[in-house]
Amino acid sequence: MAVSFRRMSDRPTSGNPVAGWLVEAADALTSVLFPADCRICERLLLTSRRVPICEACLQSFAPLQGPLCATCGLPASTWSLGPPSQSGHQQPADILCPACRMGSWGFDRARSFAEYKNALIRAIVLLKFEQIEPLGRWFAEHLRALANQHNLQADIVVPVPLHRQRQRERGYNQADLIARPLARLLGLPYRAVLLVRTRPRPNKQVLTLEERWDSVRGAFATRPGSQVDNLRVLLVDDVMTTGATLDACARALRAAGAKSVIGLTVARAARHPLAGLVESNQ
Ligand SMILES: [Zn+2]
Ligand SMILES: [Zn+2]
């Protein structure tokens, strides 16, 4: 069996070369003793990885590129059928998608790491139902880069909450697995329980567009006594589909006095929401 050492840059080791070496050695040993398959493509992982997904699958995620809607972050390629702009990947400041031209959101801006398709859908499922925390940290590192790239300014980080009943059943909130390490990476205070879901999602597996909006409208509130007044909030979730959940959360935060709300998600359903995507969130 091939054993190869991970690059030092693959994992933070607090800058300590001895600690780094120990991590590398432990990884190599683990990969010999406990060979594992990539949880997406099932190829044997040749290096021990905390993230149980091979490099090829991770590299297959499709980061959102090119001009994006200035507000909701939807790639222009999904609604514009015209030729690509001459400015290449430069971001025009005022480009808006049809939905953002027609109405306004509860959040100020939303951005996502990659398109919700193929291997990323399976990775999100792993995060959501198997609590793979290293994958949450991997996503957090990419969201940190995204926050820097788009100069997203915030004072606190808040996860989109589950209803307490759902959280009790699952034992954790998948948004928390991303938002908590992200807050640490950004050096911002983390407010895990600032926002609560007061009304559960309907039990139906697939919701229509209207049901989806109805199910989240007014379904979130800030916890009494929580301090959000005049703060800029970074609101984190795994997937943005219609934007209804981020919108409802942002409205609750704004009602409690938040100065601004930026939605940040790992994945973005880049097809038009009317195409009938399944609401996988919550
Ligand atoms: Zn793979
Ligand atoms: Zn938009």
For the chain, state the CA radius of gyration.
20
Q: Ligand 1 centroid vs 12 CA: distance in angstroms?
A: 22
Q: What is the DSSP letter of 82?
A: S
* pLDDT tens digits, one per residue of 1-53: 333 333 333 444 445 777 777 777 776 666 666 678 999 999 988 777 789 99
Higher per-residue pLDDT: 118 or 280: 118
* pLDDT tens digits, one per residue of 132-190: 999 999 999 999 999 999 999 999 999 999 999 999 999 999 999 999 999 999 999 99
Higher per-residue pLDDT: 202 or 262: 262
Say if residue 127's pLDDT is above 70: yes
Say if residue 273's pLDDT is above 60: no
* pLDDT tens digits, one per residue of 194-222: 999 999 988 887 888 888 889 999 999 99
Neighbours of ion ligand 2 (CB under 5 A): 69, 71-72, 74, 97, 100
Q: What ligand is nearest to the CA atom of residue 36?
A: 1
Q: Measured at the alpha carbon of residue 155, what is the angle toward residues 150 and 156, in degrees to the nearest 5?
A: 100
Tally Cβ neighbours within 10 Å of residue 187: 6
Kindly write down the DSSP assignment for every residue of 170-222, as one continuous string: HSS-HHHHHHHHHHHHHT--B-TTSEEE-SPPPS-SS--HHHHHHHHTT-EEE
Contact 268, 116 (CB under 8 A): yes
Average pLDDT, the chain: 85
Q: Ligand 2 centroid vs 102 CA: distance in angstroms?
A: 9
Q: Ligand 2 centroid vs 99 CA: distance in angstroms?
A: 6
pTM here? 0.82
Rounded Cα distance between 120 and 60, Å, is: 8
Say if residue 69's pLDDT is above 70: yes
Decide: residue 169, CB within 10 A, 0-12 exposed, 13-18 middle, 19+ buried: exposed
Q: Ligand 1 centroid vs 117 CA: distance in angstroms?
A: 15
Neighbours of ion ligand 1 (CB under 5 A): 38, 40-41, 54, 57
Rounded Cα distance between 8 and 169, Å, is: 38
Q: Ligand 1 centroid vs 54 CA: distance in angstroms?
A: 4
Question: Which pLDDT band holds residue 105 (cuts at 50, 70, 90)?
Answer: very high
Q: What ligand is nearest to the CA atom of residue 40?
A: 1
